[in-house]
Structure 1
Amino acid sequence: MKAIVCGAGQVGVGIARALAREGNAVTVVDWSPRLIDSVVTELDVRGVVGHGSHPDVLQRAGAAEADLLVAVTHSDETNMVACQVAHSLFNTPMRIARVRAQNYLDPAWGDLFSTGNLPVDVVISPELEVGRAILQRVETPGAFNTAVFSGGRVQLLGLRLDENSPVAGSTTEQLMELFPDLRVAVVGVQREQTLFIPKRTDPLLAGDDVYVVTESAHVKRMLDIFGRSAEKIRRVVVIGAGNIGVYVARALERADGVKVRLVEASKEHAEFAAEKLKKTVVLHGDGLDARLMREAGVPDAELVVCVTNDDKVNLLSAVMAKREGAKRALSLVNERAFESLREALGIDVLIDPRATTVSIILQHIRRGRITGLQSLGGGLAEALEGIALSTSPLVGKSLDTLELPDGVALCAVVRGDRVILPCDEGRIRENDRVLLFCNTALIPKVEHLFRVSLEYF
């Protein structure tokens, strides 16, 4: 596949890296020679310096031969115009644009992004996607990562094992012997900088980040068994009244029995949030002010969500919130270098907007019938859900004899309302939803499983 990525920021580089790693021909366009030099040096991609929406620049980038254009510059308008030019002048088949301004996404203008108007096939709103990711973490407070598949029937959770975890030191085999009715599949383990698929005889050690898959109805029991159960969330403090903070507060307002308070340093933003929110108490002040934290109810909160536009403020607010007595703290962090500080700072969850946005975009790019995707372990692995077509090599295979490449694990099969886990008996049928966990390097092989094909690999 030939792809053009407009924008050499963190998201653009993340998309380019993922596509280039899979052997695609990728061209990155950006007006900054410094950013283009950096991405060309780091990745096996071609670089073009210029404005991403200018016809001559897209022509130099190869838009006439490209299968895909992904526009993720810092300007919504540039992204939309780039898609328009790619469609009108070069007939580029697929066009994806990142759009941040919520006015463009108002349902009142639902026909805006269509072939007859603005020909954007997929519109990605990072704020909304990050907001949804935060709400998923709220629903499973004991997990550092959460992904929902098959319309909510299946969940993949990332769980940190500590010394007090009841399963620390146990193998998957022993786990299933102790809890024979536990509906769970252990599909991945990240130990230090290595992420691998454990064998049934591999022990799960304290300090491991373990990725497990289960039916949504069994999540609570699984969290109890892994020692990651947490109090039901009733009091939440949100620090930061940007698009993400307001989106999260508004969603939490609809939850039964949840009280929300929001802290915002900008008076203008605080007043705007107060107008938009119905039940949330909005406080104007510095999220790093201990007195204001206590006034906002941080010491009694089950969760503090730090989502300002400053990584350092988010990290420090989360640390202070835990010190003031908050049960859990979640922090939004854009800078990848800060991710390693999560455990040292005692922050429960870090949300990386870049990784969230990249996962959503990749879901739309993947070939075959991919219906769900989540990037895991800092990009070391992915969970992909796809539909098994009639000619897929998966169809007809028994779960207990299914031969997958090393580095690929079966997580679950969903057939209607029925969830089938690897420990169950049965065969994969046409139109089943199949969820796989794989090392990133093996994604082309996994994609092949969901494509119409007569050959196996």
Structure 2
Amino acid sequence: MKVIICGAGQVGFGIARQLASEQNDVTVIEQSPQLVQQISDSLDVRAIVGHGAHPDVLERAGAESADMLIAVTFHDEVNMTACQVAHSIFNVPTKIARIRSQSYLQPGFQTLFSQDHLPIDVIISPELEVGKAVLRRLAVPGAFDILHFAEGKVSVVGVLLEENCPIVNTPLRQLTELFPDLRSRVVGVVRNGDLFVPQSDDSMLVGDEVYFAADIRDVRRTLTIFGHEEAEARRIIIIGAGNIGLHVAQALEESHSGTRVKLIERDRAKAVYAADRLKRSIVLHGDGLDPELLHEAGISDTETLLTLTNNDQANILACLVAKREGCYRTMALINNTTYEPLMHSLGIDAFINPRGATVSTVLQHVRRGRIRGLQTVRDGAAEVIEAEALATSPMVGKPLREVALPRGILVGAIVRKGEVIIPRGETEVQVGDHVILFVRSDLVKKVEQMFRVSLQFF
């Protein structure tokens, strides 16, 4: 597949790295010579210096034969123009654009991005994707990550195993015997920074980060078994009233009438803007690192603190200050992935990586055919894929124990006619089933071949 990516920032770099690792033909366009040099030195891609919306630059990048253009520069207008040029001059089949300004995304302006106006096939909004991720994690306290599949019927949940976990050092096969009616299955484990897909003989240890797939109705019960019985937060402080913070506060007002939300914003204009658009939330103007302001906001009685500014260091420090002042749970927005291994050791309960959320959205549209859902985990180390089984799939019609799945691929759940099945060795996949798999990144191509989803592009 031939892909042109406009923009070599964190999102563009992440998409290029993922696609290049899968042997796609990737060309990156970037105005900064330093970023072009960096991406050329790091990845097996072609990188050129230029403006992503200029026809001559797109021509040099090979737009005439490109299958897809992904415009993820920092400027919405450049992204939109690049898609228009790719459509009008080069007839690129699929065009994806990152749109940050919420003004373009208001419901009344939906016809703007149509074939007759601005021909953009897929719009990705980092702010909205991150906002959704924050809300998902607020809804399931105790989890550091939660992903939804099969129209919300199946969740893949990440949880940290602590000293109070009653099932540490227990082989996974015994969990089935101990909880025969539990509709969940462990699909991935991160230990000492390394991710692996466990087998039935493996045990979980204190400090492991464990991913399990579960029927949405059994998520809470599974968390309890893993030693997490946290109650959903009713008193929340948000630091940062930008697009993400404001979106989260508005969503909480609409869907959680019993939740008390306070926002802290150091920029007065943003604070006033947020106060005008919120109905019940309290907006405080000041520095989220100021202990006196945090006391005024009631940090010691707060159940969850969300730090959603654009400054990673400020987000981390605010979480540490809040913990010291008595806040029960903290969640930080982290752009720099080098900080991720430090989160749990610093006492930060969960973090959100905007690049990961955006890359997942793009990859879902890159993987055409019968891929119905996709989310990356651990900065692309693995993917959770929802695929529809076709009659030609080698998985169909035989017990899973007889399917030669490589180690690194595990079926976490099957959805058949709206019902969730947690698979066992004797379970058979049927035509039309939606299969949720946890897949190590180097085996994603294998999954595409198994479900015959790569015929259109590869």
| TM-score interval for Structure 1 and Structure 2 normalised by the shorter chain | over 0.9
Question: Does structure 2 conserve the Cα–Cα contact (< 8 Å) formed by 1:69 and 1:92?
Answer: yes
Any idea what SS the aligned residue of 2:158 has?
A: strand
- Following superposition, the deviation at residue 401 of structure 1 comes to 3.0
Distance in 2 between the 1:65 and 1:296 partners? 57
Match of 2:306 in 1: 305
Any idea what SS the aligned residue of 2:264 has?
A: strand
Q: TM-score, with normalisation over the residues of structure 2? A: 0.97
Distance in 1 between the 2:226 and 2:260 partners? 28
Match of 1:245 in 2: 245
Distance in 2 between the 1:36 and 1:354 partners? 19
Distance in 1 between the 2:108 and 2:75 partners? 22
Deviations 1:114-142 (CA, angstroms, capped at 9, x unpaired): 11100100000000000000001001110
Any idea what SS the aligned residue of 1:261 has?
A: strand
Distance in 2 between the 1:19 and 1:13 partners? 10
Question: Does structure 2 conserve the Cα–Cα contact (< 8 Å) formed by 1:188 and 1:195?
Answer: yes
Any idea what SS the aligned residue of 2:413 has?
A: strand
Distance in 2 between the 1:6 and 1:266 partners? 31
Question: Does structure 2 conserve the Cα–Cα contact (< 8 Å) formed by 1:156 and 1:211?
Answer: yes
Any idea what SS the aligned residue of 2:306 has?
A: strand
Question: Does structure 2 conserve the Cα–Cα contact (< 8 Å) formed by 1:367 and 1:451?
Answer: no
Question: Does structure 1 conserve the Cα–Cα contact (< 8 Å) formed by 2:448 and 2:454?
Answer: no
Q: Which consecutive unaligned segments of at least 5 residues does structure 1 have?
A: none
Question: Does structure 1 conserve the Cα–Cα contact (< 8 Å) formed by 2:371 and 2:453?
Answer: no
Any idea what SS the aligned residue of 1:64 has?
A: helix
Distance in 1 between the 2:152 and 2:298 partners? 32
Match of 2:265 in 1: 264
Letter in 1 for 2:233: I
Distance in 2 between the 1:352 and 1:341 partners? 14
Letter in 2 for 1:420: I
Distance in 2 between the 1:425 and 1:300 partners? 50
Distance in 2 between the 1:164 and 1:378 partners? 28
- Following superposition, the deviation at residue 400 of structure 1 comes to 4.0
> Percent of aligned pairs with the same residue?
52
Q: TM-score, with normalisation over the residues of structure 1? A: 0.97
Q: Which consecutive unaligned segments of at least 5 residues does structure 2 have?
A: none
- Following superposition, the deviation at residue 405 of structure 1 comes to 1.9
Deviations 1:192-233 (CA, angstroms, capped at 9, x unpaired): 132111111111111111110111111111111100221221
TM alignment of 1:91-170, pairs within 5 A? 91-170=91-170
> CA separation of 1:452/1:131 partners in 2, compared to 1, >3 Å: closer, same or farther?
closer
Deviations 1:66-93 (CA, angstroms, capped at 9, x unpaired): 1011000111111110000011111111
Deviations 1:394-441 (CA, angstroms, capped at 9, x unpaired): 332333433312211101111132001113854222221111111101
Any idea what SS the aligned residue of 1:343 has?
A: coil
Question: Does structure 1 conserve the Cα–Cα contact (< 8 Å) formed by 2:4 and 2:63?
Answer: yes
Letter in 2 for 1:253: E
Match of 2:46 in 1: 46
- Following superposition, the deviation at residue 322 of structure 1 comes to 1.1
Letter in 2 for 1:437: F
- Following superposition, the deviation at residue 258 of structure 1 comes to 1.0
Any idea what SS the aligned residue of 1:390 has?
A: coil
Any idea what SS the aligned residue of 1:151 has?
A: coil
Distance in 1 between the 2:401 and 2:443 partners? 21
Distance in 2 between the 1:17 and 1:339 partners? 18
Question: Does structure 1 conserve the Cα–Cα contact (< 8 Å) formed by 2:145 and 2:157?
Answer: yes
Match of 2:30 in 1: 30
Letter in 2 for 1:183: R
Letter in 1 for 2:52: G
> CA separation of 1:133/1:450 partners in 2, compared to 1, >3 Å: closer, same or farther?
same
TM alignment of 1:25-424, pairs within 5 A? 25-254=25-254, 255-423=256-424
- Following superposition, the deviation at residue 173 of structure 1 comes to 1.3
Distance in 2 between the 1:285 and 1:416 partners? 52
Letter in 2 for 1:137: R
> CA separation of 1:419/1:425 partners in 2, compared to 1, >3 Å: closer, same or farther?
farther
Match of 1:444 in 2: 445
Question: Does structure 2 conserve the Cα–Cα contact (< 8 Å) formed by 1:264 and 1:287?
Answer: yes
Aligned length: 455
Any idea what SS the aligned residue of 2:331 has?
A: strand
Distance in 2 between the 1:295 and 1:363 partners? 44
Distance in 1 between the 2:305 and 2:64 partners? 49
Any idea what SS the aligned residue of 2:345 has?
A: helix
RMSD over aligned CA atoms reads 1.5
- Following superposition, the deviation at residue 452 of structure 1 comes to 5.7
Deviations 1:285-320 (CA, angstroms, capped at 9, x unpaired): 110111111111221111111101211111111111
- Following superposition, the deviation at residue 447 of structure 1 comes to 1.3
Distance in 2 between the 1:81 and 1:230 partners? 47
> CA separation of 1:453/1:384 partners in 2, compared to 1, >3 Å: closer, same or farther?
closer
Distance in 1 between the 2:122 and 2:452 partners? 21
Question: Does structure 1 conserve the Cα–Cα contact (< 8 Å) formed by 2:367 and 2:453?
Answer: no
1:432 aligns with 2:408: no
Letter in 2 for 1:357: T
Any idea what SS the aligned residue of 2:387 has?
A: strand
Question: Does structure 1 conserve the Cα–Cα contact (< 8 Å) formed by 2:308 and 2:333?
Answer: yes
Question: Does structure 1 conserve the Cα–Cα contact (< 8 Å) formed by 2:138 and 2:232?
Answer: no
Distance in 2 between the 1:96 and 1:259 partners? 37
Any idea what SS the aligned residue of 2:263 has?
A: strand
Deviations 1:89-120 (CA, angstroms, capped at 9, x unpaired): 11111100000000000111110111110010
1:12 aligns with 2:12: yes
